[in-house]
Amino acid sequence: MSLLEVSNLSVYYGHIHAIKTVSLVVEEGEIVSLIGANGAGKTTTLQTISGIVPSSSGHITFNGMDITAMRAHTIVQKGISQVPEGRRVFKQMSVEDNLKLGAFTKRTLNEKDLQFIYSIFPVLEERKRQDAGTLSGGEQQMLAMGRAMMARPKLLLLDEPSMGLSPLFVKEIFATINKLHEWGTTILLVEQNAKMALEISDRAYVLQTGVVALEGDAKELMNKDEVRKAYLGG
């Protein structure tokens, strides 16, 4: 049984058919990437999995449970956390309070979880009393990832984690994704930097206008002419 199975997913925004038919699988322990041009449906796919956007048809199964019609907070309780595009930290709250909000589905805050996040992101501990809005873009991305990990998810959804970051922070964020993976986190990654995404992924899906155009081993996809020309600059 796969950790996540998405079958024939279809999503409308009003009259716009954003996702026409998407099927994908994520096995426990994998990093799986969704790549594609802007407007291909990558973010919508993640938001539908996490319960933010309702599906029109199709099924989503997580850890053996049908979560298709579940509300977002219930899906977090079941073990899926999403790091949204654009980070969306609470800028007027402290770094530590942002992290604590990530554990809102738990009845009590586990201080060990907080210390674990600080071990991954030492800069967050250094700045835990600062307002989140005073952090750099890269530090806010770290905060958004740490906040999601506070829920101890079985599956982490990452939506464009490198967007708007300097090359130095991009390398740091991808190194952190690798570290989370090494520690046992299963990851579904949406990323415009297709080269870096494919390099760290086990498998990948290429979305084009709401459908899966290609899928397979990430390293094999990197060698396909259509992928190289469209997404890898060559």
Domain of 9, CATH number, reads 3.40.50.300
| DSSP secondary structure code for residue 133 in this structure | G
Q: For residue 227, which of 49, 31, 33, 8 has the smallest C-alpha distance?
A: 33
**pLDDT in 10s for each residue of the chain, 234 residues:** 799 999 999 999 888 899 999 999 999 999 999 999 888 999 999 999 999 999 999 999 999 999 999 999 999 999 999 998 877 888 899 999 999 888 776 666 677 888 889 998 999 999 999 998 899 888 999 999 999 998 889 999 999 998 888 888 889 889 989 988 988 899 999 998 899 999 999 999 999 999 999 999 999 998 888 888 777 765
Q: How many domains does the chain have?
A: 1
pLDDT of residue 113: 83
pLDDT of residue 107: 61
For 107, residues 6+ apart whose C-beta sits below 8 A from its C-beta are none
pLDDT of residue 224: 86
pLDDT of residue 108: 60
| DSSP secondary structure code for residue 11 in this structure | E
Which range marks the domain in which residue 140 is found? 4-231
Report the first-to-last Cα separation within the chain, whole angstroms: 37
pLDDT of residue 84: 87
Is the distance from CB of 45 to CB of 19 less than 8 angstroms?
A: yes
pLDDT of residue 109: 66
What is the pTM (predicted TM-score) of this model?
0.91
Q: What is the Cα–Cα distance from 219 to 234, expressed in whole angstroms?
A: 15
For 234, residues 6+ apart whose C-beta sits below 8 A from its C-beta are 228
